[in-house]
Structure 1
Amino acid sequence: MVAVFNKELLSWYLITLKLKETVEANLSKSSAPATPTSDLGARPQPLLLTQGEEGGEERSPSARIARSPTPGPDAEWVISIREKLEQARQVDSACPWAKLSIYRVPKSLREGDERSYVPQVVSLGPFHHGRRRLRDMEPHKWRALHCVLGRTGHDVRAYLDAVRPLEDRVRACYEGGARGLPSNELVLSLVLDGTFALELFRGAAAGEEGGFAALGYSRRDPVFAMRGAMHSVQRDMIMLENQIPLFVLDRLLGVQAGRPDQTGHVAPLAVRFLDPLMPTDEPLLRTDRTRMAAAAEFDPLSGSGLHCLDVFRQSLLRAGPQPAPPRPWHKRWSQTRRVADRRRQQLIHCVSELREAGIRCRRRKTDRFWDIAFEDGVLRIPRILIHDGTKSLFLNLIAFEQCHMDTTNNITSYVIFMDNLINSEDDVRYLHDRGIIEHWLGNEREVADLFNRLCQEVVFDINDSYLSGLSEQVNRYYNHKWSTWTATLKHNYFGNPWAIISLVAAVVLLLLTFTQTFYSVYGYYEPLQQQH
């Protein structure tokens, strides 16, 4: 019995052990991975396909990397790249440059001549707001606002509430969006600066009716009087970085008049105020233009200006017929002859070279200083006045034309034309003697340097110039040999009375010598013929 019992116990033990082995084997098979761990490093991982890739279309490696999860520290790097791309998409869709009109002057233009672009007396707008050296004018801005409130009986909140809805529109006008100023400070600066500018405009426009005294200012006022610092203020108000959008000035003037929605009244006032900066001194024609600017018929500027610099530029170009556009056959080459090098900006030769080719310069009586003409070897150039503010005026006009894509380059074209025309003080002296250049500078050398430095870093296409057709005519005349020979003859033998007398004497002597020779020969052969 003992043996039998041990046999049966051993059988049950063996059966239990077999069942245990079977269960453990099944469990190990179900938990094992599909791919052995040792093969993970050798086998390529399958690409993650998106909806557009399921049909077999392969995406670029960069797209696969961007969409595939990146383990480890690289994940933050990819996330930052995606954030920058999203920011670029938002900027591109918002198109913030579409409404830009007030720019910071590029460094390439302002190098070596900072004072011509940076205000020295008064700041207008956010770019130079709060500068230490311009703070002396801040109390006068508050005086102007106080005078306006006292004269109109309004509360200051009326002006703040009128300007605040324009904040987004104003920020869109400035390069960079005036990010340095918070909302309240920007609105207050627009009210202060705009009111100050309007008081200057109205005081200058009311010159025949008492000027600033009619607005409530003392005759000895240090700022609101047409003397003293007024010229410096005018020069600062023509700088590109020192502008206020014209619609803000229209709104402030409208609130003063009780008609907040009126437009088109500030532009004529601005032109009248900035008239002393005009680069011409034709008194009769300037009077006509000023009268037109002050009249209601000054429609070309009504509601179409961006700021005071733009309005002033339009008044320069619209004082008469617009400059003739470049001829179509010149436009053909504009894509292949883009220039950024001064050596390739040669429109015409300088005055000294033109004179050697028989081309003369004469004054053209018009206040449209850009209206140059050429006919029968005579280059007719309107009179231009050069004073201490001309350099800053032309530099800021050129900077505006370089920055703003929706404008022509007529001022730049004129300045480059004059730059080519003037190479030395002898050229300036000749133009001055002909009544073309009138300057208040020290000497002719300073005038020549002024024109030669105005467009040193300007990118300009000579084929887009309204003077390209005229330059072609001048150069064609210059290259004609007959005109050069005629000019040389006049210069060498008809330059002064003594040269003319010498030439006539030489001709008479030559004729007498020829006559004497003829009769000597004739007297020798005549007897021989009679003998035969």
Structure 2
Amino acid sequence: MEKKADHCMIDIPTLAQELRVELSSLKSPAEWVAGGSVQPWIFVDKVGESTRSLDPHEYVPQFVSIGPYHRTGDLAREANKVNYLGDVLSAAAADSSAPMKLEDYLSELAHLEHSARRSYVHSFDIPSGEFVRMLLLDACYILVRFGDVLGRRPAPPQPDMANGVVPAGHRVVPTEERRAPSADQRENVAVVRDVLYLAENQIPFFVVDKVYELAFLDGKTRAVDAIARYVHDLLRWTGYTVATPTVVAPPALRPQPANLLHLVHMHFTPTVLTSGKRSRGGRPVGRWRTATEYYFAGVRFKRRALSTDGGGGARSILDVKASRGGGTLQVPRLSIDDQTWRLLRNLMALEQSNPEAAGTHVTAYCVFMSQLACTARDVELLSRRGVIVHGLGNDEQVAELFANLCKGAVFDFDEADQNYLRPVCQTLERRFRSRPRRWMAWLKQKYFLNPWLAAGLVAATIGLACSVIQAVYSVLGYIKPGN
């Protein structure tokens, strides 16, 4: 019996059209427009397993979820978000005689659904209606919490760092929130931690901006201005940075964040990158050394103050500076609490997922600090110099956290475009390899720091000189007895 071949009908034109649509969708998210400038696209991605395996709690929300990655159970906070939607609609009604209807918000966000989905590396099996609802509620939650929608949030005060002690608790809440009951303060801390600091817990900022635009039709302010004020005051109060949001990409136009963590990241731009000065020559870096090793090579550590007056002060904790000969290393003070590691690790996660768009400067700083302060002796030395201030259990615990800070991160020490601290490391390495300087530093640390040892060394030197002179005269007297 003859066996018939199976035939399958393929609609070639339809299949080709589907592939064209997919190709066009791959090209379009490569760039995004920000304030009239074209910027690389920032994606929201899951943190890699090799990175999160060390401490997965640093990347997972514990109070509220924003976006689709952790939208489960109590983290959704649906009731709170619906209440905040009501706050936004009420504020919009008070601001305009003809406010937008709820249907208008949903309709406008429906047009943004495709772009919003493409902002995530992973795809989600969420129906369009649920996805648009999530975007609207999450945007309203962000605007009420951080966007000054209710018009009642003053700037937070400066922290009290008297005697070098980090204030108790988390340094994140503005004035009226610090006067709230302790339960409300804990909630405020949790919201800042989950919404601002977590790389996976984000929605595209253009969604937030669209909701703000629909709520306040006068166009006098943008969502980025309202939220950036809160973020700027928060980071200034915590002592991480006093800089304004900056994007290192020409032309230097008004930056637009891709999400809230990216807005935080834009405050952490080293001055050397904004000035355009970047060294590409010199010998290979090899590796950084510990603070103790540099100290025994004669390097003095000095705290560099944050300043906005343009007088040469640091703008953020990333502005590490070495003197010409490497004799002094100026490092901005890093005030450490249990949120410091979460912030730095998630900023690194943002850079690891978007190296071309976000850069690698936070990663470079974290690698530098993880090697500089990886032992208890290093942490003790840097603490004495005012470079590190912490309220944790002991120096050994802090050193262990520093040593594990960059586990799983991909970073090239010798790549000038990745490592903005490469010139600093080259200067310190030249200092470390200079034997005369190391000998002088050894003598200074071993003898001249102790006045009794210094006096003994001077006395021994004088005695040796006298013995040599006496020996010379004895020889001369033997050779020329008449003189």
Q: Is 2:69 the partner of 1:120?
A: no
- Stretches of structure 1 that go unaligned for 5 or more consecutive residues are 1-69, 211-216, 294-298, 334-344
Q: Does the residue aligned with 2:348 lie in a helix, a strand or coil?
A: helix
CA deviation after TM superposition for structure 1 residue 232, in Å: 1.4
Q: Is 2:339 the partner of 1:394?
A: no
Q: Is 2:113 the partner of 1:161?
A: no
CA deviation after TM superposition for structure 1 residue 87, in Å: 8.1
CA deviation after TM superposition for structure 1 residue 458, in Å: 1.1
Q: Is 2:70 the partner of 1:111?
A: no
TM-score using structure 1 length: 0.69
Q: Return 95-104 or 395-404, whichever deviates more.
A: 95-104
Q: Does the residue aligned with 1:243 lie in a helix, a strand or coil?
A: coil
CA deviation after TM superposition for structure 1 residue 432, in Å: 1.1
Is the Cα–Cα contact under 8 Å of residues 326 and 465 in structure 1 kept in the other structure? Answer: no
Q: Is 2:208 the partner of 1:249?
A: yes
Q: Deviations over 1:99-154 (max 9, x none)?
A: 5521121222211321111111111111111x12414x322112211222233335
- 2:479 & 2:363 partners in 1: Cα distance? 74
What is the root-mean-square deviation of aligned Cα atoms in Å?
A: 3.7
CA deviation after TM superposition for structure 1 residue 327, in Å: 2.6
CA deviation after TM superposition for structure 1 residue 163, in Å: 1.5
Change in Cα spacing, 1:469 to 1:515, as seen in structure 2 (3 Å) is: closer
Choose the corresponding residue for 1:147, options 76, 81, 87. Answer: 87
For 1:176, the equivalent position in structure 2 comes to 122
Choose the corresponding residue for 2:25, options 94, 112, 122. Answer: 94
CA deviation after TM superposition for structure 1 residue 522, in Å: 6.3
- 1:483 & 1:71 partners in 2: Cα distance? 88
- 2:335 & 2:383 partners in 1: Cα distance? 10
Q: How does 1:234-383 map to 2 (within 5 A)?
A: 234-237=192-195, 238-259=197-218, 265-275=222-232, 278=235, 286=242, 289=243, 302=254, 304-317=256-269, 322=274, 326-329=278-281, 346-365=286-305, 366-375=314-323, 376=325, 377-383=327-333
Q: Is 2:144 the partner of 1:199?
A: yes
CA deviation after TM superposition for structure 1 residue 511, in Å: 3.6
Is the Cα–Cα contact under 8 Å of residues 320 and 331 in structure 2 kept in the other structure? Answer: yes
CA deviation after TM superposition for structure 1 residue 495, in Å: 2.5
CA deviation after TM superposition for structure 1 residue 384, in Å: 1.6
Q: Return 396-405 or 301-310, whichever deviates more.
A: 301-310
User: Could you say which structure has the larger radius of gyration?
Assistant: 1
Change in Cα spacing, 1:425 to 1:367, as seen in structure 2 (3 Å) is: farther
Is the Cα–Cα contact under 8 Å of residues 117 and 240 in structure 1 kept in the other structure? Answer: yes
CA deviation after TM superposition for structure 1 residue 324, in Å: 5.5
- 2:266 & 2:340 partners in 1: Cα distance? 17
- 1:197 & 1:458 partners in 2: Cα distance? 30
Q: Deviations over 1:282-338 (max 9, x none)?
A: 59x84xx5xx67xxxxx97845211111111112217896275643447x99xxxxx
- 1:268 & 1:434 partners in 2: Cα distance? 37
For 1:28, the equivalent position in structure 2 comes to none
Q: Is 2:132 the partner of 1:187?
A: yes
Whose helix proportion is higher, 1 or 2?
Answer: 1
Change in Cα spacing, 1:387 to 1:469, as seen in structure 2 (3 Å) is: same
Change in Cα spacing, 1:87 to 1:487, as seen in structure 2 (3 Å) is: farther
For 2:159, the equivalent position in structure 1 comes to none
Overall identity of the aligned pairs, in % = 29
Change in Cα spacing, 1:495 to 1:209, as seen in structure 2 (3 Å) is: closer
TM-score using structure 2 length: 0.76
Q: Which amino acid aligns with 2:382?
A: L
- 1:475 & 1:456 partners in 2: Cα distance? 24
Q: Does the residue aligned with 2:154 lie in a helix, a strand or coil?
A: helix
Choose the corresponding residue for 1:432, options 383, 386, 394. Answer: 383
CA deviation after TM superposition for structure 1 residue 207, in Å: 2.6
Choose the corresponding residue for 1:480, options 412, 426, 434. Answer: 434
- 1:484 & 1:425 partners in 2: Cα distance? 23
Q: Deviations over 1:253-305 (max 9, x none)?
A: 1111125xx5972223333333576388559x84xx5xx67xxxxx9784521
Q: Does the residue aligned with 2:335 lie in a helix, a strand or coil?
A: strand
Is the Cα–Cα contact under 8 Å of residues 324 and 466 in structure 1 kept in the other structure? Answer: no
- 1:159 & 1:315 partners in 2: Cα distance? 31
Q: Does the residue aligned with 2:274 lie in a helix, a strand or coil?
A: coil
Is the Cα–Cα contact under 8 Å of residues 347 and 417 in structure 1 kept in the other structure? Answer: no
Change in Cα spacing, 1:273 to 1:446, as seen in structure 2 (3 Å) is: farther
Higher RCO (C-alpha 8 Å, min separation 6) = 2
- 1:374 & 1:107 partners in 2: Cα distance? 36
Choose the corresponding residue for 1:443, options 394, 399, 417. Answer: 394
Is the Cα–Cα contact under 8 Å of residues 61 and 201 in structure 2 kept in the other structure? Answer: yes
Is the Cα–Cα contact under 8 Å of residues 250 and 264 in structure 1 kept in the other structure? Answer: no
Is the Cα–Cα contact under 8 Å of residues 345 and 405 in structure 2 kept in the other structure? Answer: yes
Change in Cα spacing, 1:505 to 1:385, as seen in structure 2 (3 Å) is: same
Q: Which amino acid aligns with 2:102?
A: V
- 2:382 & 2:272 partners in 1: Cα distance? 24
- 2:236 & 2:400 partners in 1: Cα distance? 17
- 2:180 & 2:454 partners in 1: Cα distance? 63
Q: Which amino acid aligns with 2:358?
A: T
- 2:134 & 2:408 partners in 1: Cα distance? 33
For 1:495, the equivalent position in structure 2 comes to 449
Q: Does the residue aligned with 1:242 lie in a helix, a strand or coil?
A: coil
Change in Cα spacing, 1:417 to 1:172, as seen in structure 2 (3 Å) is: same
Q: Which amino acid aligns with 1:499?
A: L
Is the Cα–Cα contact under 8 Å of residues 261 and 347 in structure 2 kept in the other structure? Answer: yes
Change in Cα spacing, 1:346 to 1:416, as seen in structure 2 (3 Å) is: farther
Change in Cα spacing, 1:303 to 1:433, as seen in structure 2 (3 Å) is: closer
Is the Cα–Cα contact under 8 Å of residues 155 and 230 in structure 2 kept in the other structure? Answer: no
